[in-house]
Amino acid sequence: MDQPVQLSTAAHRTGAAAHPLDPLSVAEIARATTIIRQHFPWGDDLRVETIDIDEPAKDLVRNYVAGQQFPRVARFNVYRQGETGVWQGRVDLDAGQVVGQKFRPEARAMVAVEEILLIEKTVRADARFREALRRRGLLDEVEMMCVDPWTVGDFGHAIEEGRRVLNCFIWMRMFENDNYYAHPVEGLHALIDLSTLEVLRVEDHFEASGDYIPVPRAPRNYDASLLTEFRAPSAPLDVVQPEGPGYRVDGNLVTWENWDFRVGFNGREGLVLYTIGYTHQGRRRPIVYRASIAEMVVPYGTPERSHYRKNVFDSGELGFGRMANSLSLGCDCLGTIHYFDAVVPDVFGGARTIENAICLHEEDAGLSWKHFDLRNNRTEVRRARKLVISSISTIGNYEYASYWYLHQDGRIEYEMKATGIINTAACHPGQPGRYGTEVAPGIVGHIHQHIFCARLDMEVDGPGNSVVECDTHVPPKGPENPYGNAFYVAERTLPTELAAQRDADFAKMRYWKIVNPGAKNWVGTPTAYKLEAGSSVQPFTDPDGPSGKRGRFIQHQLWVTPFDAEERYPAGEFVNQSRGDDGLPAWTAKDRPIENTDIVVWHSFGLHHLPRPEDHPVQPCVVCGFKLMPSGFFDQNPVIDLPPAKNDASCLATSPHCCG
């Protein structure tokens, strides 16, 4: 920022927070907006991209004592309607003033849902668009056209220079509530200036040849009101906790079993977990200071028509948090549920509450451990449970369901479930081309990837951490390996950022450990957590191409940086129409040391998706994720102390008393 940030610790604060990491409240966002509007003399032209909590210094958080005064500062990104560029700054909510600001003339703000909703009517009314429909014999159905705007990246097109633009793909409904993704109007697009709502160009790829791909018209629906046949319902499967849940919630603080953490949320990343720690043998031990999914990109693999422009950053261009669902009891979440509401600003700075944006509940996790002693005929068995913290966002045609799991044995697991509707295009029946699959007659789903990037601000037993790469090696057959069966794990500490740009390697069964060199377990080795990268994806987008250079974070599955509060998003602060000059590649070019210091681990993972007919008309959940597993963090099995228990509600299905 251009000006130093002076933080106030005044006793009076609007919408008082209970902890320094609490998200901004409705009152705090309203106060921040008022201060911003007073500072920038734009009147009704002021638009808000983000207003989020400016996370305070880690030492303040670590040393915080309940009741102690702390600063409340909001970060903001705002822009003026009709102009390119974004102002960044901070607002001291106690002092009531903007305390730092910087203008980014090259930046394009994220796309707001309020802006998207204005586009469809504008495109339908455009004379060039209507003429294109007339040539196709579709003009009478113009009011059934569904106009989906997509971000465009930067392909050097002169018409887009200095503008904030979207490229629209067209589908249509046959009737109300019809699944329009079953009816793509292939090859017809409208380029629109988002600031002025001017349709810059209407492009019809088949106008010259007249060889139009027909609109598939067969209904392919999923809405319960339109389906006529359902399988017989299963017997009820209820999750019942008659004595209540095992977790406790105090504001945004959650404690469960040996775990405690704080729940956060913002408009860009959505769900954030703070200060994750595990108490063992009476001692609380920190593991992760902050965990989030900081970015994701969906590169499509076809060069055909305008589909080559599909390379969307659903977090950095739209915002997972802003697009979060209000979850439904008994549908999205089962059991004894605690919901957290989320508050995000709308494009005008008003505070919008997303009710039930985050779900907290417990699930059975199967077997924890078991052993049968053959000699004394004794069996010891313990069952496991896990804590689930989840949020679901709808980004256009896809739903992204984000799940963090905490396990009793110290594991932290992340799972992304992708569902919703695949992006569709039309083809001549039986001719999908080599870049996709025909999922229904005349409907093609193009090959693509979903690649996410987790930002893991680690503090395993404290802030002094290092990353160790672990590869399995086979000695050459000979004196060291006479029988050809020998293999061992070799470890090396990654010293600097460039050395820590690492890829998964199945041939070496590679994994990484985050270790604390200053903390030892009972066998004298550093305490550690292991990153299990179970959903590594090989990127196929050229890193120097127009799309690939914006998302170079996908080129490695592991990056490590020293903590910097301004290095928040792996593809940079501003992704919309960016050129790839910010983010992990730029930061790590400094090649800073990363041994025994406060580090951030960035893990890229995801899905390689060639659509199947089974993915249409709505896609069953496909799953990816990763695990953080204790690896020498504990001296022995940390759940050896689980008490013996038997579930009295379980019964034989053949028993006449089984159903009560």
- Cα 197 to Cα 87, 148, 166, 251, 574, distances in angstroms: 22, 14, 10, 42, 21
Per-position DSSP letters for 334-369, written without gaps between them = -SS-EEEEEEEE-TTS-EEEEEEEEEEEEEEEEEEE
Question: pLDDT, tens digit, for every residue of 631-648?
Answer: 999 999 999 999 999 888
Choice among 289, 398, 511, 529 that is catalytic:
398
The CATH H-level superfamily of 247-300+311-422+447-630 is Copper amine oxidase, catalytic domain (2.70.98.20)
Which pLDDT value is given to residue 7?
32
Which pLDDT value is given to residue 624?
98
Question: pLDDT, tens digit, for every residue of 431-485?
Answer: 999 999 999 999 999 999 999 999 999 999 999 999 999 999 999 999 999 999 9
* E strand spans, 610-657: 619-630
Number of H helices, E strands in the chain: 6, 30
CB 276 within 8 Å of CB 288: yes
Please state the domain extents for the chain.
26-104, 247-300+311-422+447-630
CA atoms within 13 A on the CB side of 60: 14
Is pLDDT at 503 greater than 50 in this prediction? yes
**Average pLDDT of the residues of the chain:** 94
Question: pLDDT, tens digit, for every residue of 209-252?
Answer: 989 999 999 999 999 999 989 999 999 888 889 999 999 999 99
Is pLDDT at 32 greater than 50 in this prediction? yes
The distance from CA 208 to its chain's CA centroid, rounded to whole angstroms, is: 42
Is pLDDT at 116 greater than 90 in this prediction? no
Lowest-confidence range among 3-12, 49-58, 119-128, 234-243? 3-12
Which pLDDT value is given to residue 15?
60
Instruction: Give me the mean pLDDT over the 31-37 stretch.
Output: 97
Beta bridge pairs of residue 526: 520
CB 145 within 8 Å of CB 167: no
Which pLDDT value is given to residue 18?
93
% of the chain exceeding 90 in pLDDT: 90
CB 394 within 8 Å of CB 373: no
User: Phi, psi at residue 306, to the nearest 5°?
Assistant: -95, 5
Choice among 314, 457, 582, 615 that is catalytic:
314
Which pLDDT value is given to residue 660?
53
Instruction: Give me the mean pLDDT over the 44-50 stretch.
Output: 96
| pLDDT band at residue 2 under the 50/70/90 scheme | very low
Structure tokens that stand for 582 in this block: 């910010």
Question: pLDDT, tens digit, for every residue of 570-587?
Answer: 999 999 999 999 999 999
Which pLDDT value is given to residue 127?
97
Question: pLDDT, tens digit, for every residue of 154-208?
Answer: 998 999 999 999 999 999 999 999 999 999 999 999 999 998 999 999 999 999 8
Which pLDDT value is given to residue 327?
95
Q: How many residues does the chain have?
A: 660
Which pLDDT value is given to residue 143?
95
| pLDDT band at residue 4 under the 50/70/90 scheme | very low
Structure tokens that stand for 256 in this block: 């469960």
* Secondary structure letter of residue 265 according to DSSP: E
**Annotation marks residue 339 as catalytic:** no
**Annotation marks residue 314 as catalytic:** yes
Which pLDDT value is given to residue 13?
38
| pLDDT band at residue 151 under the 50/70/90 scheme | very high
3-class secondary-structure state, position 141: helix
How far apart are the C-alpha atoms of 439 and 617, rounded to whole Å?
9
Which pLDDT value is given to residue 659?
59
Question: pLDDT, tens digit, for every residue of 504-527?
Answer: 999 999 999 999 999 999 999 999
235-241's contacts with Cβ under 8 Å and 24+ in sequence apart are: 239/334, 239/335, 239/336, 239/363, 240/335, 240/649, 241/335, 241/336, 241/362
How far apart are the C-alpha atoms of 162 and 150, rounded to whole Å?
18
Is pLDDT at 3 greater than 70 in this prediction? no
Structure tokens that stand for 181 in this block: 């993704």
CB 307 within 8 Å of CB 300: yes
Domain covering 26-104 assigned CATH 3.10.450.40 in the classification: yes
